[in-house]
Amino acid sequence: MVAKTQFGLEELLAAELKSIGATDIELLTRAVKYRGDMAVLYKSNLLLRTALKVLVPFTSFYAHHENQLYKRVQQTDWSQLMSPNQTLAIDATTNSEIFHHSKFTALKTKDAIVDQFRGRFGIRPSIDTENPDLRLNVHIHDKLVTLSLDSSGNTLDRRAYRLNRTEAPINEVLAAGIVMLAGWQGDTTLLDPMCGSGTFSIEAAMLAANIAPGKRRSFGFERWPNFDGELWSKIKAEAVQAERKFTGRILCSDLDPTAVNIAEQNARRAGVERMIDFRTDDFFEAKALEETGTLLFNPPYGERLQEDDIVAFYKEIGNQLKHQFPGHTAWIISANAEALKHVGLRPTRKIKLFNGSLECRLQKFELFAGKKGEAKPS
Ligand SMILES: C[S@@+](CC[C@H](N)C(=O)[O-])C[C@H]1O[C@@H](n2cnc3c(N)ncnc32)[C@H](O)[C@@H]1O
């Protein structure tokens, strides 16, 4: 199997895979390759916090031109995988001199499949890109074509709790990854002071209470002909049994009351609202309630602000941290490298990540306890 993820989260994903019994784990860029049985496949979708989708490669071959691709795709008996009255979607990714256009590749593959059905049964499956019965992935590297079944269906960042979004939300997989990169496991208070739609807080609560990220959604494999309903029910029941009580503290706040309201609604949908304290607060007026804690920030990156304003904003974050949060650890993700410099504290870790297509840095700042002036300047 291949679990896809975001750049920078591969090692976390490999560790998650190990914990669910995957073997032969191999790190790739933005993905991890591994082996496992049907139970591992089902658990991968239900339990992995840092996976975006789980593919099951089932055939690969060389194709030198598009007609060869068409012919080779027809060598699979597609009626083993779906019936002609079901629906199909095809995602293609290409990294090839010959097959430049992923859309065209997907189209050619689709033609080969539907033509086979039409020839054999007189009817053909129709295409449904949103909610298909079978989602197929075609990957072409140079001339090597790999066909995989997409066992996830919708990507796994769609956990079905975030129906309402504020502006520029961070995706759930990245948010979970950042909570995990920060090493937070529920032992210290977590502060999410610019919470937007609450993604950090919700992912942190689900992690701390060991709630399966896929608990509230369905998956592609549930519509496969070989779907083992009994095994699936058992795995889901085990996941519920493995949930634990979280007795720590998560503080979720934002300057904007609408954002706080949205975060609260999302948390309710995720079933974690009782684990989180919601407040409307300006971070620049906030004070630490405890001596230690972990702060996670995804501040505005400044696309809509004047350069001076965004620099002043990041400076102010640094000042607040320095003066009000000694003893705490702060993690800030931003695509604005220049603004990050103005936090004015020396980062003790820098991790490259992507928020959508934006290259970002996640930086760690350790605020030293002691007199206010003793925070380590940059
Ligand atoms: C990029 S969004 C955060 C998105 C969030 N991570 C999510 O997943 O939805 C930045 C947030 O910072 C908030 N914000 C801006 N200035 C603030 C301040 N002084 N205090 C608290 N929140 C602030 C904005 O209201 C906005 O919701």
> Within its chain, how far is the Cα of 109 from the centroid?
28
For residue 113, being part of any structural domain is answered with: yes
pLDDT at residue 369 in the model: 73
> Quick one: 144 and 178 in the same domain?
no
> In this predicted structure, which of 21-35, 202-216, 330-344, 361-375 has the lowest mean pLDDT?
361-375
Q: Describe the crossing of helices 229-241 and 38-47 by its angle, rounded to 10 degrees.
A: 50
Q: 282 lies in a domain?
A: yes
The sign of the torsion formed by the CA atoms of 331, 332, 338, 342 equals negative
3-class secondary structure per residue, the chain: CEEECCCCCHHHHHHHHHHCCCEEEEEECCEEEEECCHHHHHHHHHHCCCCCEEEEEEEEEECCCHHHHHHHHCCCCHHHCCCCCCEEEEEEEEECCCCCCHHHHHHHHHHHHHHHHHHHHCCCCEECCCCCCEEEEEEEECCEEEEEEECCCCCCCCCCCCCCCCCCCCCHHHHHHHHHHCCCCCCCCEEECCCCCCHHHHHHHHHHCCCCCCCCCCCHHHHCCCCCHHHHHHHHHHHHHCCCCCCCCEEEEECCHHHHHHHHHHHHHHCCHHHEEEEECCHHHCCCCCCCEEEEECCCCCCCCCHHHHHHHHHHHHHHHHHHCCCEEEEEEECCHHHHHCCCECCCEEEEEEECCEEEEEEEEECCCCCHHHCCEC
Shared domain check, 112 and 11: yes
Once rounded to an integer, what is the mean pLDDT over residues 76-91?
96
Q: Which CATH number covers residue 330?
A: 3.40.50.150
Q: Is 264 inside a domain boundary?
A: yes
Residues 201 and 77 occupy one common structural domain: no
Ligand 1 binding pocket mutation candidate from 192, 202, 252, 255 (most atoms within 8 A of CB): 255
Determine contact, residues 97/65, Cβ cutoff 8 Å: no
Q: Per-residue confidence at 2, pLDDT binned at 50, 70, 90?
A: very high
Question: 343: CA distance to ligand 1 center in Å?
Answer: 16
Q: What is the mean pLDDT of residues 240-256?
A: 96
Same domain, 87 and 200: no
Contact between residue 187 and residue 159 where contact means Cβ atoms under 8 Å apart: no
177 and 146: one domain?
A: no
Determine how many CB atoms are found less than 10 A away from the CB of residue 228. 14
CATH number for the domain spanning 66: value is 3.30.2130.30
Percent of the chain with pLDDT over 90: 91
Answer yes or no: is 177 within a domain. Answer: yes
287 backbone dihedrals φ, ψ, rounded to 5°:
-130, 145
- Cα(361) to ligand 1 centroid in Å equals 17
Instruction: Based on the fold, state whether residues 135 and 262 are members of the same structural domain.
Output: no
Q: What is the pLDDT of residue 307?
A: 65
Ligand 1, residue 170: give the atom nearest the CA. Answer: 8
Position in ligand 1 atom list of the atom nearest CA 175: 8
* pLDDT, position 376: 54
User: Rounded distance, CA 32 to CA 235, Å?
Assistant: 22
* Residue 240: inside a domain: no
Note the pLDDT tens digit of each residue in 297-344: 999 998 776 667 999 999 999 999 999 999 999 999 999 999 999 999
Predicted local confidence at residue 374, as pLDDT? 46
Do both 96 and 176 map to the same domain?
Answer: no
311 shares a domain with 179: yes
Count the domains in the chain. Answer: 2
pLDDT tens-digit map of 135-172 = 999 999 999 999 999 999 999 999 999 876 667 789 99
- CB 300 less than 6 A from any atom of ligand 1: yes
In a domain, 285, yes or no: yes
Residue 194 alpha carbon to ligand 1 centre in Å:
4
Is residue 166 domain-resident?
Answer: no
**Starting from the edge strand earliest in sequence, which strands make up the sheet with 31-35, in order?**
23-28, 31-35, 2-4, 53-62, 144-150, 134-141, 87-95, 126-127
CB count within 10 Å of CB 115 equals 14
Q: Does residue 87 sit in the same domain as residue 197? A: no
**pLDDT at 67 exceeding the cut of 60:** yes
Range of the domain at 186: 172-210+248-369
Q: Identify which of 254, 315, 360 to mutate to test ligand 1's pocket (most ligand atoms within 8 A of the CB).
A: 254
User: 116 and 183: one domain?
Assistant: no
Mean pLDDT of all residues belonging to the chain: 94
Residues 187, 135 share a domain? no
Residue 372 pLDDT > 50, yes or no? no
Same domain, 76 and 188: no
Ligand 1 within 6 A of 157 CB?
no
Residue 12 within any structural domain of the chain:
yes
